[in-house]
Amino acid sequence: MVSTDFELQSASESASAETANATVSDAAADSTFAEVDDRSRTVPAIEFRDVHLTFGERVILGGISFVVQKGETKIILGGSGTGKSTLIKIILGLLKPDSGRVLVDGEDITDYTEEQMMSVRHKIGMIFQEGALFDSLSVYDNVAYRLHEQNVDEAQVEEEVRRMLRFVNLEDAIEKMPIELSGGMRRRVGIARALVGAPSVILFDEPTAGLDPPTARTICELAIKLRDLEDVSSIFVTHEMNNLTYLTGEYAVVDDSGEVILEQEGEKLCLINTKIMMLRDGEIIFSGTDELLRKSDDRYIQTFIHGK
Ligand SMILES: Nc1ncnc2c1ncn2[C@@H]1O[C@H](COP(=O)(O)OP(=O)(O)O)[C@@H](O)[C@H]1O
Ligand SMILES: [Mg+2]
């Protein structure tokens, strides 16, 4: 689903041509209706139905239910050890819940075998805290990894790798080894690698942990671009409030010259494609917009937001 710069540019050109005529073309109206009528968009990207998981005596997830809609970003907040990574492992089928159902794209994957999970995992891009690169492989080979495994023709591999590296603004680093990269660059290579194969769902597990604030921001900007320009659905696990402020307050658009720019949500807009869910002791203690979260009078939530 990651489109090329060319597609982005031509989309913006046709949009400005329409504004010039001040009428909506039949083609535009048709495509809007097609989107509204597209039933597959009403199927959630991810759904948990009353999911329970215990490790020994400890309840990690005590009956969790939520949906991530198509095109939505769900920010998951929660202290350390509250089951955030566990939840992501369940989506990937690396852990099975004790009870409850888990659906990806409308497909109930709860009882899937390892083999059945392979096709589900192709729809999912996973971004880990450390970037998790193979240190002995170049940036090119790291990003190409999945494609090489699938024996894709090398010319096609290179085209795809370059396109992904352009998306994360790192095409110049294509020949480098991971050890030569800064922490932020390693994360971005990790993102480029996760985008290969155009996953419709992306799972970010604390992708900015340990990064300085400006670098953390570049990671959030990529998540915003994926949400707004590529129609990706995602879960973004974090406990950093800065990330939440960026993701819930800014959106990406393509300007008249075809450049991607970020705009502030401001006072008038309220982004509806980004929601927050907060976990505590195996329960969801909050679910909703950042506006509601900030207004919550729950002491625990206020302490979490303000750090005191
Ligand atoms: N395989 C496992 N066996 C036993 N306990 C585990 C296992 N994986 C995680 N845990 C425990 O489950 C809790 C939740 O872990 P995790 O999902 O990694 O938390 P978070 O990502 O929110 O920090 C932690 O207390 C952790 O120690
Ligand atoms: Mg974790």
Q: List the one residue out of 169, 240, 172, 161 whose CA is nearest residue 204.
A: 240
Minimum CA distance residue for ligand 1 atom 3: 55
Tell me the average pLDDT across 33-43.
73
Taking the CA atoms of 108, 226, 199 and 29 in sequence, report the sign of the dihedral they define.
Answer: positive
pLDDT tens, residue by residue, 232-287: 999 999 988 999 999 998 899 898 998 888 988 877 677 789 999 999 989 999 99
The pairing of strands 124-127 and 201-205 is: parallel
Asked if residue 217 has its Cβ within 6 Å of ligand 1, the reply is no
**pLDDT at position 211, please?**
85
pLDDT above 80: residue 41: no
Q: List the one residue out of 215, 209, 208, 167 whose CA is nearest residue 189.
A: 167
Asked if residue 239 has its Cβ within 6 Å of ligand 1, the reply is no
Minimum CA distance residue for ligand 1 atom 7: 55
CA R_g for the chain: 20
Higher pLDDT, 30 or 202: 202
CA 70 from chain centre, in angstroms, equals 11
Q: How far apart are CA 124 and CA 93, in angstroms?
A: 11
Query: 213-229 and 183-195 are packed helices; what angle lies between their axes, rounded to 10 degrees?
Result: 20
Residue 226, classed as helix, strand or coil, is helix
